[in-house]
Amino acid sequence: MKLVNNMLAGDVLSLARLITKVERDVAEVPEIMRGIYQRLGKSYCVGITGPPGAGKSTIVDRLTAVIRQQELTVGIIAADPTSPFTGGAVLGDRIRMQQHYLDEGVFIRSMATRGSHGGLPRSTGGVIKLLDAFGKDFVLVETVGVGQTELDIMENADTVVVILVPEAGDTVQTMKAGLFEIADIFVVNKADRPGADNLLTELNMMVQHYPKERWWQVPVLATQAVNNVGIEELFKQIEKHRQALEGSGQLLERRRQQRRREFLETVEHRVSDELLKLVEQDEEMSRYMARVEAGELDPYSAADEILRPRTLLASWSRQLAEKRPNE
C-alpha cells in the first residue's frame, strides 16, 4: 500500500491520512495493520488520565517539552468529546499544544470519542500502532476526562499516570472510580491549592497499605503544571516505571496481554458483523428476527436456534450459493 510505504519513509501527511482511515474504520484497515506490523515495538506509551479539570492537557504539554529536551520524539493522542454538529473532536490540537505545533519532532492528533464510554475512542489502539511504526519514541495518550469509566487506558498504555487535584474529593472517591487500580503513578496537580497536602498524605497512605505490585511502589507526586513545577520528576518516575517493567518482565507480559485482547476483540467484531449480515440477508434467519420482534419467540431461544451449527452451516451455504456466478 503506497500510503503505508510513504508513512514508513517519514511522510507526516501520509501518517495523518492513515490515522483518518483507522478512525473511520475503513475496509483497508486490516491491510494497513499488516503493512506496519513488522515495525512495531519501539514506542513507549504513557496514558494520562483523571477527572475533568485536573490539568491533563497542561501535564501532557509540559511533559512533551521535557521529553523533547532529551532529543526524543513524541506522538500525542488527545481524546476529546464528540461534536454534536460535525461528529469530530470538540477541541483542536492547535488549542491544546500551541508551543509544540510547529515542532517536527511532535505529532499531535485530537480524536473524538464517537460514543465510546471508556475515556478513549475505540480506534486508539490502531492510532498508537501507527505512531509507533512512524518511529515516535514516546506516545502520550490523554483520555477525555469522563471520571469513573476511564479504564480503557490501561489496555493501551505501558505506564498509566492518574492526575488528581485537591478539590476533586477524597481518596475514597478515587478508589470508587477505579483509578486506584489502574494507576502506576499518582500526580496531585495544582498542588499550591488548599487541601493538596492532605490529598498527598492520604494517597501515600493508600498506596503503602495496598501495594499494587511487589516489584513497583506507586509514587505520589506533586505538580503545578501551569508553573512547570514537578514535571521533570514525573518524567523520571515514568522512566523508573519503564525500567521496573522491563526488569521484571512485566512489559513483555503487558504487551502480550494487549495483543491477546486485540486478537479476541477483532475476532468478536468480525464474527458479530458476519452474523448480523446472515440475520439480515438470510430468509430463515430473518424469520427468527421477525418472530422475536413480534414477541412470538424470546431472544434467548432464538439465539440458541441461530447458533446451532446446523442452522449456521445451512445459512452460510445459502449465502455462498447466491454469490456463485450462474453457470
Residue 14 has pLDDT above 90, yes or no: yes
11-15, 116-120, 181-185, 251-255 — most confident range: 11-15
**pLDDT attached to residue 320:** 62
Calpha distance 323→325 (Å, rounded): 6
Per domain, the residue ranges of the chain are 1-38, 40-248, 258-323
Average pLDDT over residues 26-34: 93
pLDDT digits (tens, 9 = 90+) for 119-146: 477 788 999 999 999 999 999 999 876 5
Find the mean pLDDT for residues 274-278: 76
Of 29-33, 77-81, 290-294, 321-325, where does mean pLDDT reach its minimum? 321-325
Per-residue pLDDT tens digits for 233-247: 999 999 999 999 999
Distance CA 174, CA 164 (A): 9
In this prediction, residues 34-49 reach a mean pLDDT of 94
- The predicted structure's pLDDT at residue 327: 46
> What single letter denotes the amino acid at residue 120?
L
Considering only CA atoms, which of 292, 149, 166, 297 is closest in space to residue 222? 166
Q: What is the pLDDT of residue 92?
A: 47
pLDDT, averaged across the chain: 83
Residue position matching grid coordinates 450459493: 321
Instruction: Using pLDDT thresholds of 50, 70 and 90, give the confidence band for residue 81.
Output: low
For the chain, give the percent of residues with pLDDT over 70. 80
Instruction: Report pLDDT for 229.
Output: 96
Q: Is the pLDDT of residue 49 over 80?
A: yes
pLDDT given for residue 148 in this prediction:
46
Cell numbers describing residue 48: 494520562
Of 104, 124, 102, nearest to 114 by C-alpha is 124
Residue 86 has pLDDT above 60, yes or no: no
Q: Give which of 173, 142, 133, 139 is closest to 158, Cα–Cα.
A: 139
DSSP per-residue string spanning 157-177 = -SEEEEEE-GGG--HHHHHHT
Query: What pLDDT sits at residue 84?
Result: 37
Of residues 6 and 272, more confidence is placed in 6
Tell me which of 45-49, 67-71, 208-212 is least confident: 208-212
CATH class of 40-248: alpha beta
Four-point Cα dihedral 35, 41, 43, 46, nearest 10? 110
| Confidence label for 267 from pLDDT (cuts 50, 70 and 90) | confident
pLDDT in tens, 168-210: 655 555 555 567 788 999 999 999 999 899 989 988 988 888 8
pLDDT at 308: 75
Greatest CA separation found in the chain?
81
Global pTM reads 0.82
Structural element, H or E, at residue 42: none
pLDDT in tens, 303-325: 887 777 666 666 666 666 666 55
Q: Are the CB atoms for 77 and 109 separated by under 8 Å?
A: yes
The pLDDT value recorded for residue 218 is 94
